[in-house]
Amino acid sequence: MSTGLALVADGLGKRYGSKWALRDCTLEIPTGSVTALVGPNGAGKTTLLQLAVGLAEPTTGSVRVLDCSPRADAQAMLPRIGFVAQEHPLYRGLTVRETLDLGRQLNPGWDEALASERIERVGLAARQKVGKLSGGQQAQVALTLALAKRPELLLLDEPVASLDPLARREFLTSVMEVVAERGITVVLSSHIVADLERVCDHLIILSHARTQLAGPIEEIVSSHRLLTGPRSDPAAVARVHNVVRASHTERQTTLLVQANGHVYDSSWELHDVDLEEIVLAYMGQREEVAA
């Protein structure tokens, strides 16, 4: 039954009116991984997640989640996934307790012990109105609602974007603890790269509605190199390696490349690059090409 893949997208595309929100998206997310979906605002992260949970329907291609088609097999898929939408929408008029009751009524697999224990641990009173909670607390309520379903796959859309650094750290810690306890698969989107390297093991970079790069973070970091050398045409390097970004000063050329094996050319000085720099390079790539 299990293919070892929690999510498979094949040529997935979504168009709203005449604008493509996501295009030609082909990727695989392995079971048990913690995958970061990174890209600037409007890159298609939300669209990809909404297609995955069945909120939106693909214009082209297909997506399969836990071996289910999100729309056609919704009844089978929904109990197995947990989803926290952007801005973690909640019924503001309900209390924390009533929100959990709602979760119990809507989910046959609801784990009440887990839910109440989590709420207590993050220091929330059951009788507080959800609308009166801080952003971080609301995010924790939304996460609890998603986790008490005991999902196999947790999808989080910009879960920490609106949170202050402390709440952001607490939220990610909560998610990581669940991963440690239950080994669930997590996909989380973010436009902030900081924190992700610690938390995630896989990375998907989306930009301009397309997938720019996908893979295990370790491989991504180890395969990318920054080359500096006297000013020259990067064409020679580009024949062997994938040049992600090239910049020139009067005398010097700096290339960020995805190395295809070793870089032997001794005219270049090699440097390691960190994840943030790689992500930024890919995010900027298309704009430069277009400009």
Partner 1 sequence: MIEFHLDARSGVPTYLQLVNQVRQAVRLGILRPGDQLPTVKEVVGALTINPNTVLKAYRELDHEGIVEGRRGVGTFVSAQSPSPPPDGMKDLRAALEKWVARARSAGVDDEAMAAMLADATHHPRASRVA
Partner 2 sequence: MIRAGWRLQRTETLVTAGMLAALALLLIPTGLQMSSAYHHDGLSACLSPNASFGCGRAVESFMSRFSGIYSLAGWFNFVPALAGVLLAAPFLLELEQGTFRLAWTQSITRGRWIAGKLGLAIGVALSAALILTLLITWWRTPFVHLQGRMGANVYDFEGTVVFGYALFPLGLAAALGAVWRRAVPALIVSFGVYVGVRVFFDSWVRQRLVAPLTATWKAKTSGPDLSHAWVLAEGPSGPSGHIIPFHIGPCFPGRPRCTLNPPGHYMHAVYHPASHFWPLQGIETAIFAGVALVLLAFAAWWTHERVA
> Residue 132 has what DSSP assignment?
G
Among the residue ranges 18-26, 37-45, 101-109, 192-200, the one whose residues contact partner 1 (CB under 8 A): 192-200
CA angle 247, 217, 275 (to 5 degrees): 35
Among the residue ranges 16-24, 46-54, 171-179, 231-239, the one whose residues contact partner 1 (CB under 8 A): 171-179
Please state whether 44 falls in left (phi above 0), alpha (psi between -120 and 50) or beta.
Answer: left
User: What is the smallest separation between the CB atom of 82 and partner 2, expressed in angstroms?
Assistant: 8
Q: Which helix (H) or strand (E) holds 279?
A: helix 275-290
User: What is the smallest separation between the CB atom of 197 and partner 1, expressed in angstroms?
Assistant: 8
Of 102 and 243, which CB lies nearer to partner 2 in the complex structure? Answer: 102
Closest CA relative to residue 174, chosen from 162, 188, 192? 188
Among the residue ranges 174-182, 243-251, 261-269, 283-291, the one whose residues contact partner 1 (CB under 8 A): 174-182
- Alpha-carbon gap, residue 196 to 56, rounded angstroms: 26
**Contacts to partner 1 from residues 231-290, by CB under 8 A:** 272, 274
Q: Answer yes or no whether residue 199 interacts with partner 1 by CB under 8 A.
A: yes
Closest CA relative to residue 65, chosen from 76, 52, 80, 49? 52
Closest CA relative to residue 184, chosen from 219, 218, 143, 212? 143
Q: Answer yes or no whether residue 200 interacts with partner 1 by CB under 8 A.
A: yes
Q: Answer yes or no whether residue 68 interacts with partner 2 by CB under 8 A.
A: no
**Contacts to partner 2 from residues 80-139, by CB under 8 A:** 81-83, 85, 87, 89-94, 98, 101-103, 105-109
- Alpha-carbon gap, residue 277 to 287, rounded angstroms: 16
Look up tokens 């056609």; give the residue. 72
Q: What are the residues binding partner 1 (CB under 8 A)?
A: 34, 169, 172-173, 176-177, 179-181, 195, 197-201, 218, 272, 274
Q: What are the residues binding partner 2 (CB under 8 A)?
A: 50, 53-57, 74-75, 78-79, 81-83, 85, 87, 89-94, 98, 101-103, 105-109, 142, 145, 149
